[in-house]
């Protein structure tokens, strides 16, 4: 059975689907911005998407708009520079 959650950091809805081959799938949207709580960027983690760690211990996905693609692997286009631009902006 699907389970619905609300991310307390971004107020985004999150869906967890039932396990398939022993693993649940989490589905969520990336935020357009982070709350202005005074935390600073601590690091960026590249694992399936761009994750941001903040100085106050949060680990949300990096914010981006629907026209951006935070992807850095093989492929066409300028996607690695989009991820780098978002990280640099943060």
pLDDT in tens, the chain (90 residues): 889 999 887 788 889 988 877 888 888 877 777 776 778 889 998 887 788 898 988 888 888 776 666 766 665 555 677 778 888 888
CB-count burial class (<10 Å; 0-12, 13-18, 19+) for 85: middle
pTM of the model: 0.66
Domain ranges of the chain: 3-89
pLDDT score recorded for residue 5:
92
Contact (Cβ atoms closer than 8 angstroms) between residue 75 and residue 68:
no
Helix (H, G, I), strand (E, B) or coil at 24: strand
pLDDT score recorded for residue 26:
83
């Amino acid at each position: 059975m699907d389970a619905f959650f609300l991310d307390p950091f971004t107020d985004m809805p999150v869906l967890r689907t039932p396990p398939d081959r022993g693993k649940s799938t989490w589905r969520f949207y990336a935020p357009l911005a982070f709350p202005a709580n005074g935390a600073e960027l601590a690091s960026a983690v590249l694992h399936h998407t761009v994750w941001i760690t903040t100085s106050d211990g949060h680990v949300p996905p990096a914010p981006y708009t629907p026209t951006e693609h935070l992807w850095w692997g093989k492929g066409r286009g300028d996607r690695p520079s989009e991820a780098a631009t978002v990280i640099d902006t943060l």
